[in-house]
Chain A
Amino acid sequence: MADDTRPLSVVARPTTDEIDRRNLDWYIDKVVQAVVFICGISAIVFVIGIFVFVTAEGFGFLVDTFDFAEFFGSPRWKPTSEYRTTYGILALIAGTASVTGLAMLVAIPFSLGAAIYIAEFATGKTRETLKVLVELLAAVPSVVWGFIGLTIMNPLIIKTFDVPVGLNVLNAGIILGLMAAPIMTSIAEDALKAVPDRYREAAEAMGATRWQLVFKVVLPAAKNGLLGAVLLGVGRGFGETMAVLMASGHSINLPDSIFDSVRALTATIAAELGETAVGSDHYRALFTIGIFLFIITFIINLTADLIVRGIRKG
């Protein structure tokens, strides 16, 4: 009512001489700011802290024993050999790379297809249900995937392909692919959803079919986000430990075929670290692998992040 001139609130507004007095609200504000600032930068502190710790542990090896050509060029990882220890991680890199590569072959078509279906074709309840299920799938612990690799995939591969061992690149690649697919689906779907609807309307009004619309307009517009999703999947593949340890056979090999058992960088650390003497060459060599992994995953994730961000800005 226009003629109601009562004050809006019974709380008095600050008078002129109160303006310089800091009250409780002012202090609460400062404290909250300080607390969220500490939480905010904690991620940076932890990343740097971990890097410093891993580097410090591996540093001795880098200075004393490290031989670049042997470390990256030799497939012989023999840290406990009685007469000549060699620390070559080429076979381990090949193991990780082959498993990750195969996993991407499995995961990319699956996750892209699923993301396109969920974002562009599914409607209403179907879409909501699928999204929840995909997220649920992403939450399955990796040891469960490893268990599936051991008990289901292993006999299946032996029977289907008539090979002596079912724990190999194929097994680990499929398991890792299935593991990475849900998270990739989720991110790829976000990328597709970020494409403005007016693009879809414009193409649709022009007579494009749903598929033409997706293929010619939506996918090109979302390509950076999709590339980011793939790179995050690759990062996941490099870093995954338990499932790969259980499904890959864990034997040092330069694989000739997908039926060869391999060993991954991460699995090597997980399996051996507990049994080395702290401070020994072997112990420090494992940390050097850790540095290498840290750098690789850092580069992959950073690239993925920059690509995804680049899209949002453009």
Chain B
Amino acid sequence: MAVDAGAPMRLAPGAETARPKVEVRNLAISYDGTPALVGVNLEIYENEIFGIIGPANSGKTSFLKALNRMDMFNAAMQVSGEINFDGRDIRQWRNVYALRGRIGVVFPLPVGLPMTVYDNVALSPRLSGQTNKAELNDIVERCLRRAALWDEVKDRLNSLGSLLSGGQQQRLTIARALSQEPDLLMLDEFSIAVDPVTTMRIEDVLKELRNEMTIILVTNLTQQARRLADRTAFFLTGSCVEIGETEALFTGQVEDSRTADYIAGRFG
């Protein structure tokens, strides 16, 4: 479905560059000493959709949390190794809020904050100091249009965001993430609480967004990774088993037989 993207929010970069947006070296995550993820090494390039598949408890969500430095206020979560974002170790960003501001996150269950639809989307620009009403209106409309939600909510921008349906709330969450103008958008099993039709609409949105940002798509629907991801990583019980071109993985060119078994649905 075609999405009216409105004016681009910033200049779309040219062709894909080979520069890694995110570079992960020897990443290990544990909770109170119990390892959740060990020995992850990977690069994620600008303007690609990077899929992460794997069964429950494979460390996918922990990986996203580490990228966003969500370990900071969670004393139980320990992260070691190196994560470079735009070439800099994220632990050397002195302002963690600025780092998070550049990374948009969409959680598995939609989180419509208990405020109006408008305020949900305007929250992030307001946090960074935008008070101009016209600018805010513009941002809200553009983000909602891009998240394919505008037509459904344009007449009730002042009703509570938490009263929208599940699928609408998830698109609201995406609109809110877009309002940050993120460089990197991380989606964690976004379709878990969304009906198939809405899922397809959101997938269309993601394909368009690829032109402007890097996307990490964690999913437990392997076919979703196949539809969207340029490259895909397979996580299993706390380690990264294999990374490869998505098409290659799905056509049997795998190095580890567990990957083939998972993709074929023999377990997981």
Chain B proximity of A207: nearest CB distance (Å): 3
Question: Hey, which chain A residues are within 8 Å of B173, CB to CB?
Answer: 202
Chain B proximity of A245: nearest CB distance (Å): 43
Q: Write out, one digit per residue, whether chain A residues 113-130 have a CB within 8 A of any chain B CB (1) or not (0).
A: 000000000011000000
**A208, B109: Cβ atoms under 8 Å?**
no
- How many inter-chain contacts with C-beta < 8 Å in the A-B complex? 64
**A205, B68: Cβ atoms under 8 Å?**
yes
**A207, B98: Cβ atoms under 8 Å?**
yes
Residues facing A in B12-65 (CB within 8 A) are none
A-side residues, CB < 8 A to B, are: 123-124, 198-199, 201-209, 212, 216-217, 220-221
Question: Hey, which chain A residues are within 8 Å of B73, CB to CB?
Answer: 204
**A205, B70: Cβ atoms under 8 Å?**
yes
Does B105 interact with chain A (Cβ within 8 Å)? yes
Question: Hey, which chain B residues are within 8 Å of A203, CB to CB?
Answer: 113, 123
CA distance in complex: A204, B104 (Å): 11
Question: Hey, which chain B residues are within 8 Å of A207, CB to CB?
Answer: 97-102, 124, 127-128, 180
**A206, B75: Cβ atoms under 8 Å?**
no
Question: Hey, which chain B residues are within 8 Å of A221, CB to CB?
Answer: 113-114
Residue in chain A with minimal CB distance to B123: A216
Residues facing A in B168-183 (CB within 8 A) are 173, 176-177, 180
Question: Hey, which chain A residues are within 8 Å of B102, CB to CB?
Answer: 207
- Partner pick for B127 among A202, A216, A220, CB 8 A cutoff: A216
B-side residues, CB < 8 A to A, are: 68, 70, 73, 75, 97-105, 107, 109, 111, 113-115, 123-124, 126-128, 173, 176-177, 180
Residue in chain B with minimal CB distance to A311: B114
Question: Hey, which chain A residues are within 8 Å of B127, CB to CB?
Answer: 206-208, 212, 216
- Partner pick for A198 among B109, B115, B123, B180, CB 8 A cutoff: B109
Known: A204-B70, A206-B127, A209-B97. A220 touches B107 (CB 8 A): no
Known: A205-B104, A206-B177, A207-B124. 6 other contacts (CB 8 A): A198-B111, A205-B103, A206-B101, A207-B101, A207-B180, A208-B123
Name 6 interchain pairs, CB-CB below 8 A, sorted by A: A201-B70, A206-B123, A206-B176, A207-B128, A207-B180, A220-B115
Question: Hey, which chain A residues are within 8 Å of B114, CB to CB?
Answer: 199, 220-221
Chain B proximity of A204: nearest CB distance (Å): 7
Known: A199-B113, A205-B70. A123 touches B75 (CB 8 A): yes
Residue in chain B with minimal CB distance to A209: B97
Question: Hey, which chain A residues are within 8 Å of B105, CB to CB?
Answer: 202, 205-206
- Partner pick for A205 among B100, B109, B128, CB 8 A cutoff: B100
CA distance in complex: A202, B123 (Å): 11
**A217, B113: Cβ atoms under 8 Å?**
yes
CA distance in complex: A198, B124 (Å): 16
Residue in chain B with minimal CB distance to A207: B101
Question: Hey, which chain B residues are within 8 Å of A204, CB to CB?
Answer: 70, 73, 100
Chain A proximity of B34: nearest CB distance (Å): 19
CA distance in complex: A253, B232 (Å): 80
Question: Hey, which chain A residues are within 8 Å of B111, CB to CB?
Answer: 198-199, 201-202
**B97, A202: Cβ atoms under 8 Å?**
no
Residue in chain A with minimal CB distance to B101: A207
Chain A proximity of B234: nearest CB distance (Å): 25
Question: Hey, which chain B residues are within 8 Å of A123, CB to CB?
Answer: 75
With most chain B CB atoms within 10 A of its CB, the pick from A202, A204, A209, A216 is A202
Question: Hey, which chain A residues are within 8 Å of B107, CB to CB?
Answer: 198, 201-202, 205
Residue in chain A with minimal CB distance to B96: A207
Residue in chain A with minimal CB distance to B103: A205
Chain B proximity of A255: nearest CB distance (Å): 41
**B100, A202: Cβ atoms under 8 Å?**
no
With most chain A CB atoms within 10 A of its CB, the pick from B97, B102, B103, B128 is B97
CA distance in complex: A217, B113 (Å): 8
**B97, A208: Cβ atoms under 8 Å?**
yes
Chain A proximity of B68: nearest CB distance (Å): 6
CA distance in complex: A207, B115 (Å): 18
CA distance in complex: A163, B111 (Å): 57
CA distance in complex: A274, B173 (Å): 65
Residue in chain A with minimal CB distance to B73: A204
Question: Hey, which chain B residues are within 8 Å of A206, CB to CB?
Answer: 100-101, 104-105, 123-124, 127, 176-177, 180
